[in-house]
Amino acid sequence: METNTRRRLPGVTLGAMLLAAALALWLLWQPALISTLPMGVRLPLIGLGVWALGAAFMAAMGLEARRPWLRRMTTPPWSLAALGAFTLVLLVRAVIA
């Protein structure tokens, strides 16, 4: 079953994938954005990043989770909220550091 959201918002899927790719490259270039944080903050941030970037790449490749709760978490609006939150955290870290 293909997600109806993907059919309605193809530009959003492309934009999310491009943003996720840019964030992944930025983190490869500047790993200190996350690696200098204390472990108690770093682990949830890594989890948020895996969720946000993974969901963006899944949607762009046309993959879909089988379980309903997982499908809900990897499709908009939840995946876009996670991507936005992760982006904001990285931007704040870049400005502060």
DSSP 32-75: HHHHTS-HHHHHHHHHHHHHHHHHHHHHHHT---SSHHHHHHTS
Q: Which pLDDT score is estimated for 2?
A: 52
Q: Which pLDDT score is estimated for 62?
A: 86
Q: Which two tokens stand for residue 33?
A: 């954005």
pLDDT by residue for the chain (97 residues), tens digit each?
Answer: 455 555 567 788 899 999 999 999 999 999 999 999 999 999 999 999 999 999 999 988 888 899 999 999 998 899 999 999 999 999 999 999 7
Under 8 Å CB-to-CB from 92, ≥6 apart: which residues?
none
Under 8 Å CB-to-CB from 60, ≥6 apart: which residues?
13, 14, 16, 17
**pTM of the predicted structure, to 2 decimals:** 0.86
Q: Which pLDDT score is estimated for 54?
A: 94
